[in-house]
Amino acid sequence: MSQANRGVVYQGPGHVEVQSLPFPELALGNRQCQHGVILKVLTTNICGSDQHMVRGRTTAPPGLVLGHEITGEVVECGRDVEFVKVGDVVSVPFNIACGRCRNCKEGNTHICLNVNPARPGAAYGYVDMGGWVGGQTEYVMVPYADFNLLRFPDRDRAMDKIRDLTLLSDIFPTGYHGCVTAGVGPGSTVYIAGAGPVGLAAAASARLLGAACVIVGDMNPQRLDQARSFGCETLDLRQDTPMPDMLEAILGEREVDCAVDAVGFEARCHGHNHSHEQPATVLNAMMDVTRAGGQVGIPGLYVTEDPGAESQEAKHGNLSMRFGLGWAKAHSFHTGQCPVMRYHRQLMQAILFERIDIAKAVNVQVISLDEAPQGYADFDGGVAKKFVIDPHGSLAA
């Protein structure tokens, strides 16, 4: 099979373009990839992690094809693919995993040992994650297809729910993982830092898990409005009021049971000085407002190299955490990427049986491939939307 292909390509800080690309092949470098498939991309989403690269806050090289949130239709299978068929509609975990190494066998598919020569773990279209071609394209190759892909059981039902199901590749499991690792459960009080798409997905996940009160903090009024639209309490962190005081006004208590950092390393100080970047401020706030013995989930991205950081220490991932406070309060911290395969089947079921309206929670907006550069610009401007790219007009049809 040989056809045209186009995709979103990082050109340098602040600049992405839609360019013609080679049609994907069932190959890894100079060897064949008979365990892989080629997908016609039905939906592919713009992620906040992509935005870090596009802002120039990573060492991503120009020419990188972006995109790690992929849902597609199988159009070609390698010889060794047994359980996925041409015509299947599938969700692609952003983690690339071999299914064979020790970590994969333990369920830690986010730190597979065989798919990235530089470090454990790989992802499509992302800096330092193995050099895999991204999926903000018309067609993409997916390796280890039998292991990685989540097949939707009914095509028509899947297409009817595609705006929700597209979020299974990353942000819905990532937000859910943040809540699970923070210990969210029935009756919990939960603080979510950040009302971007991952924070909103975490807030919706906390409600799915039975939290009694979900509080979302941000500095963007539109994003806080979006959090309130599905029942969350909010903290406007542009105020100078100490966070424990704001929590007490809502809960009658100054601490929460569980906390989730959905901001990451581009965090800013709260209060009148909110334009000042301070990458450890969310982590320190979490220790301040989480009860003794509580847990903190950290799905927000932290990097080893940040060329755009304001301090020399932060440029190398060294942050000024009040770790002694976390130690004194016996906090548990859980970091790292989400192992999507641990959750995506259950969350698919929650969508298909209408236990959650995740697309509404994160305010999905569908755009064309040619509109992707504007989508990146709007997202960088702070709009309260999750941009979903429809490369072939499949959703519009």
Span 252-290, pLDDT tens digits: 999 999 999 999 888 877 766 666 778 889 999 999 999
* Cα gap 58→38, rounded to integer Å: 29
Torsion sign over Cα 172, 347, 37, 117: positive
If one counts every other C-beta atom within 10 angstroms of the C-beta of residue 367, the result is 16
What are the angstrom distances between the C-alpha of 41 and each of 82, 194, 208, 361, 365? 21, 29, 29, 23, 17
* Cα gap 130→98, rounded to integer Å: 13
If one counts every other C-beta atom within 10 angstroms of the C-beta of residue 134, the result is 25
What are the angstrom distances between the C-alpha of 204 and each of 5, 10, 65? 35, 31, 30
What are residue 43's DSSP bridge partners? 71
Architecture of domain 6-170+339-389: Alpha-Beta Complex (3.90)
* Cα gap 378→359, rounded to integer Å: 18
Helix (H) or strand (E) holding 227: helix 221-228
- The predicted-structure confidence for 198-257, as pLDDT tens digits, reads as follows 999 999 999 999 999 999 999 999 999 999 999 999 999 999 999 999 999 999 999 999
What are the angstrom distances between the C-alpha of 157 and each of 149, 337, 352? 18, 29, 8
Name the superfamily (CATH) of residues 173-334: NAD(P)-binding Rossmann-like Domain (3.40.50.720)
344 burial class (0-12, 13-18, 19+ CB within 10 angstroms)?
Answer: buried
* Cα gap 24→22, rounded to integer Å: 6
What are the angstrom distances between the C-alpha of 104 and each of 109, 111, 119? 5, 8, 14
* Cα gap 200→172, rounded to integer Å: 9
Domains of the chain: which residue ranges?
A: 6-170+339-389, 173-334
Coil, strand or helix at 176: helix
- The predicted-structure confidence for 64-79, as pLDDT tens digits, reads as follows 999 999 999 999 999 9
* Cα gap 135→238, rounded to integer Å: 36
The residue length of the chain stands at: 397
What are the angstrom distances between the C-alpha of 385 and each of 45, 196, 200, 237, 378? 11, 8, 10, 20, 9
DSSP string, 306-332: -TT-SSHHHHTT-----HHHHHHTT-E
Tokens of 198: 């991952």
At residue 158, the pLDDT reads 96
pLDDT by position in tens, the chain (length 397)? 558 999 999 999 999 999 999 999 999 877 899 999 999 999 999 999 999 999 989 989 999 999 999 999 999 999 999 999 999 999 999 999 999 999 999 999 999 999 999 999 999 999 999 999 999 999 999 999 999 999 999 999 999 999 999 999 999 999 999 999 999 999 999 999 999 999 999 999 999 999 999 999 999 999 999 999 999 999 999 999 999 999 999 999 999 999 999 998 888 777 666 667 788 899 999 999 999 999 999 999 888 887 877 788 877 878 888 999 999 999 999 999 999 999 999 999 999 999 999 999 999 999 999 999 999 999 999 999 999 999 999 987 6
At residue 1, the pLDDT reads 52
